[in-house]
Every structure is written in structure tokens, then in C-alpha cells.
Amino acid sequence: MDRSQIRSEIAQFCRQLILSQNAVRLCDLEATPKQEEFLHQVFREELEHRERLRKARLFQRAAFPIRKTLEGDELNSLRLPSTLHPDELTSCQFVRDKKNLMLYGPVGTGKTHLAIALGVKACELGIATRFFTAATLVTRLSESKRAGALERTMKDMEKADLVIIDEWGYLPMDREEAQLLFQVIAASYERRSLVLTTNLEFSKWGSIFTDDQMAAAMIDRLAHHGQLIVFEGESHRLKHALMRQK
């Protein structure tokens, strides 16, 4: 790397570190080539250090129960809609486009794995992410409401660009709990991406969320910028359990 390129990158590092361009001026007036190289190294390593800390904070805030990754050709076994290219998933372009994903299929077919893997990839790309099961999210919202802190909890969730809600519709809930979840859906509409995993077909949402109209309003908001990914086949957990028995 020649000296002019080093100095150009030092100027860029100063902007990223929110420093004045005085370091560039001093390089021009007083620094030797070796001093410029050392300053370049210091600034570069400081930025890399900050990026590592930022990603660590993103993973901590996401609160994944375990880390999963997108491996091999596992996307090939899914039924993706024609309007969704696999690259949109693996690059997290769907998050930038504020699209929702509904991961639908029987228990044990890999919905949670994919949801977490997408969230992990998002964090690696510097995208703020939150992971909840529907039950833990309802509990958190209910407790916040009782404590008079619901608005603060909602604002905290709004800092995320991707919210993953696992096990959607697995457990019935009362009207107040359903209304709290509806607030999350409504507040996220066209503002961030939602990824939901569920084994519940849309026609049965009304029975789980106690209100057909509210269920319809949820579906309308999720589907408007949403994509349905269908998981098929037998439970991976059951399959591997049978293999161990053999």
C-alpha cells in the first residue's frame, strides 16, 4: 500500500472514529512513512475492536437460546415461494426490505433452527435482532403492563430491525395477551421484519387468539409484506431418536 492510500484510509478511519482530520494534517506535515503505517494500524485495529464489541452486544441482546447456522443445502429441502430467492434469506436482504417470514410446518421439521440461523446471520451482519418464544414474549409484555412499563418495553423492541417469535400459536391465550401480541405486530408493520415459526394454519388463528377479527388483522399485516416458507417431512428429532435406538 503506497503512502497516499495509507493517508486516504487514515482520513476515512478518522471519520468512522468521529475524529477530526487533524491526524491527516499532522501526517502530511511531520510523520515519517513508518509513523503513518503505525497510526493506520492503530486506527484499523481500534475499529475492528469496536466492531467485535458491537456484534457481541448484538448477540447478547438477541438472546438466542442456542446458536445455529445456515448449513449446506438445507434451504433446498424447503418449499420457498417463487417470489423469494434463497439469497434473500442467506444475505438477510429480506430484513433490509422489511419483509416478514412465516415458517410453517409440523413440529420438529427445522423451523426454529432456520429462524435462529437467520437471526445469527443478521447479527453477524450488524443487524439488531431480538429472539422470543411467543410464551416468553407474552409474559414479558404482561409483566411490563402490570408494572406500568409497557411503553418502555415496546420502545426497546422497536430498536430491533428483526424480531423472531418462535412457537407462535402453540399455546392458547386470553384476550389481553392476544391484544399485547397484536400491538407488537401492529408496531412492526412496515418498520421491521418479523420471523414467526408456527404449526398453526391461518384458519385456526381465531381460536388461539380468542378473536377472529383480531386474528384477521394480524394475518393481514403479516401477509402484506410477508413470505410463507413451508416445512415438510417427518420430525428431525423423532428421526434421530429412532436412529439412536437402532
Spatial distance between the Cα atoms of 34 and 43, rounded to a whole number of angstroms: 14
Average pLDDT over residues 110-125: 94
Average pLDDT over residues 170-181: 88
Give the pLDDT band of residue 116 (cuts 50, 70, 90): very high
The confidence score (pLDDT) of residue 103 equals: 95
Residue pair 194/100 in contact (Cβ under 8 Å)? The answer is yes
What's the maximum distance between 2 C-alpha atoms anywhere in the chain? Answer: 76
| Beta bridge partner(s), residue 194 | 163
For residue 82, what is its C-alpha cell? Answer: 417463487
Q: Residue ranges of the domains in the chain?
A: 3-62, 74-245
**Cα dist from 178 to 35, 149, 207, 224, 233, whole Å:** 62, 18, 11, 20, 30
pLDDT in tens, 222-246: 999 999 999 876 555 544 445 555 4
pLDDT in tens, 37-64: 899 899 999 999 999 999 999 999 999 9
Count of CB atoms situated within 10 Å of the CB of 50 = 12
Helix 111-124 and helix 33-62, axial crossing angle in degrees, nearest 10: 150
Q: Which CATH architecture has domain 74-245?
A: 3-Layer(aba) Sandwich (3.40)
pLDDT in tens, 151-164: 999 999 999 999 99
Spatial distance between the Cα atoms of 126 and 54, rounded to a whole number of angstroms: 8
Please give the share of the chain, as a percent, with pLDDT higher than 90: 57
Give the pLDDT band of residue 117 (cuts 50, 70, 90): very high
The confidence score (pLDDT) of residue 99 equals: 95
CA atoms within 13 A on the CB side of 34: 0
